Structures are given as structure tokens and as C-alpha cells.
Amino acid sequence: MGKKNKHRVTPKDRTNKNRGFDLGDQQGVILLPDVSFASALHKAEVVGCAYALGGLTGYPGAVPWLSLVCRNAEPMRAAFKSFEKWGCEADGEVVDLQILLKKDGKYFLVISPEADRAIFRLGPHQLTRPLFLSQFWIKEYDTTNSFLHQLKSHCDSGLGPVVLSAATLPAKGAPLIPENIGRIEGLPSIIKFNIKIRTEEEDPNHWLVDPRAKRTRPPGGAGPASPKPSPREYAAARRRTIDTAFPVTRERIRRALLVDSIQAIPGFKTVGRSQIEQAAINLMLSVELCDGTPHYATLDEKYRDTIWKHIEDRVEYADGKSIPSLPSLDATCTQIRADITELVTRDGADLHQFKKFSSLQAFYDRRGYGAV
């Protein structure tokens, strides 16, 4: 009888208490940003837009100004107060502004929180899988001023800023002409370099033209993360978690050449760096959570929630004192196998088809879990 391969996937691996955990299996969170701006803009009764060239402190020459013209100044101030809370004075792009120029001469103007920046503000965005839910304010105008086409050329060039402001047209029924428009003073500054102006000809599947179209996503609704992540999204999230939550441990692993040592073991040559770093991190976390017991063996069935809570509360120190020693090669190999087994089993794979660890690793890589 030949020597037993201690890295073979066996029924025992599926029934013992060794638990695998993938750092890319991030918890989903629903993020809902401030939506009061939409109600405020509605109450402001925006009746049009004013366009002009004006000065900007510290910028040579005139720049385009785009002002929302409303009947009621106070709700407009409230809307801009929301923009200020988002951080518009430091970064005007927190206010997402889209304009769609239609074939029939009309145009749409849309304002919403910019999704990526809102996610950054609202959550531990590097350690969670956000589902971003938002509201947006939309206004349709019957005629398109020629200035908007000039503004589109200006924005498409990517060379200059645009100032977003607001003004009032107090007299009911007064025509929308410069003489009747009064600028609302004291509003926070919003300087934008990324106003999205499209024409219907350029983007016939824009969601404002066809709400069922998927090519251009509206600023509200689901954010960048899908409800069920793909294997490649798992891999990217795993790398992100390691780099965000374990920078000290990651560097210790690299300096100890643990990756090279594991990949030198027969059958483990193709195991990825993030897998090896993850296994070492899991063993370290198990020591912290299970009184020194490896492989999360003493945790219950809700161990994923327990681990994520521990990660979110944990702080890494580079003092050389509070860091446990790196795990043995044998323990790391066992954890790598447990991590893969747990993930592909949840993915519906039948472990009986894998006679050797190398076959299991190959399947894992083909599915895309190992990609970074």
C-alpha cells in the first residue's frame, strides 16, 4: 500500500469540525443615503435653468454657471444644505448631475447622490458588499437652450469646471429672462468637472428614454454590487479585505516567504497568494476567537457572523508584541483545503469528483475564485 497523501480530500474533511472561511464572502448591507434633497427640490418648484459665463476664484477666465431657477428659495437652500452635508464644497462630484438632450427638443435634468462617493461615506465599504438604494430628482424641460450644447462640448473636453448654483424667479407668471432672476446668496459652492450630458442619438437606450434598458443604469436603485457575487467578485473582495483589514499580517506573511514555502509543497504549486494569506489569517483569527484552537473548530454554525464582527472590531498593531506567530505549513495547508471546500460546496460542487487536492484547486481556479 502506498503512502497516504495527507492533503487528499476525504470524507473526513467534510465531516470534521475544521471550518473554512473566505474573506471575499463579505456581508451584504443596504445603504440608503440622504433623500431629503429630492423633496426639497420638489417644494422649491424649479421652473427652469439659467445659463451664464462667470468668474471662479483662482481660475483664469470665465467658466459656465448652471443655476436651478425656482419659485421658493428656502426649500432650495435646504436642498443645497443636503449637498453640503455630502461634502460638495470639498468635492463637487458628490452631487451627480445628468442631462439628456432629446430628439424632440426637450431635455431631462437629473440630480442624485453619486453612488460610489455615497457608499464611501455611508459604510465600511471595503469590508461589506453594499446594495445602494437611492432617490433622484428629475425634471423635464420643454425647450433646450443652445447654451446646453455649448456646455456639452465644454464637459466632453474634460478641461474645465462648471459651477452649479441656484436662483429665484419670485414673481408668479414672470417670464424666465435674466432681468427677473435673482441669485440665491450664501449657498455652498459646487464646482463640477464631471457633468454627464448625453444626446438621445448618442444613447438611444438611456434609462430616461427606455426605463427597461439596462445599458445605462439610473443613479438610484441597486449600487455596484450584485445581490449574489460572482466568483471573480469573491476573489476581488478577498484581496480587498486582506489589504484593508490585515496590512500588518500581510507584510509579515510576505517577509516570511510563506507563499513560496506553500507553493513548493507537491500539489500546492498553483495555490494563489491571496489563498495562502487568507489561510494564515484564518488560523490567526481562530487563535483569537477559539482560545488557541485552529480552524475555527469550536465555533457554531453562525461562525461567519462571528468572524466578520471580530474583523470589523479588530485593529492591527505593528508593535511586534501583539501579533501571534505565523502558523505551520501543515496547518496552513489544512486551512487552505478547508477554505476551498467550504466555498465550492456552497457553490453546489460535489466533492466526490475530486480525488486529489490539486483537482479541487483546479476546479476552484476554473470557476474564477482564485482570480485577482
pLDDT of 162-217, one tens digit each? 999 999 987 777 777 777 788 899 999 899 998 989 999 988 888 887 766 544 44
Please tell me the predicted confidence (pLDDT) of residue 74. Answer: 96
Q: Round the average pLDDT of the chain to a whole number and report it.
A: 85
All residues at 6 or more sequence positions from 179 whose CB lies less than 8 Å from its CB, including other chains:
none
Would you state the pLDDT for residue 211?
64
Q: Return the pLDDT at 322.
A: 54
Mean pLDDT of all residues in 228-255? 91
C-alpha cell at 85: 452635508
Give the pLDDT confidence score for residue 13 in this predicted structure. Answer: 42
171 or 251: whose pLDDT is higher? 251
How far is residue 82 CA from its own chain's centroid? 21
CB atoms within 10 A of CB 112: 22
10 Å CB burial of residue 346 (0-12, 13-18, 19+) is exposed
At 7-20, the pLDDT tens digits run 444 444 443 578 99
CB within 8 Å of 305: residues ≥ 6 apart: 27
Counting residues of the chain whose pLDDT is more than 70, the rounded percentage is: 88
pLDDT at res. 213: 55
Q: Strand (E) positions, the chain?
A: 27-31, 46-56, 59-70, 95-101, 107-113, 128-132, 137-141, 162-168, 182-183, 191-192, 196-199
Cβ contact 205:215 at 8 Å: yes
Identify the three-state secondary structure at position 150.
Answer: helix
Mean pLDDT of 33-50: 92
Closest CA to 27 of 128, 177, 148: 128
**Buried/exposed 321-339: b ≥16 CB within 10 Å, e otherwise:** eeeeebbeeebbbbbbbbb
User: Residues with Cβ < 8 Å from 170, sequence gap 6 or more?
Assistant: 71, 182
So what's the pLDDT on residue 9? 42
- Give the cell for residue 339: 477554505
Please state the rounded mean pLDDT for residues 282-308: 94
pLDDT greater than 60 at residue 260: yes
Rounded-to-integer distance, Cα 359 and Cα 292, Å: 31
Tally of residues, the chain: 372
351-361 as b/e, with b when 16 or more CB fall inside 10 Å? beebeebbebb
Where is pLDDT greater, at 260 or 196?
260
pLDDT score at 39 = 95
Closest CA to 182 of 95, 68, 92, 97: 68
- For residues 114-126, average pLDDT: 81
Structure confidence at residue 363 (pLDDT): 93
Q: Is pLDDT of 237 > 80? A: yes
- pLDDT for 124 equals 64
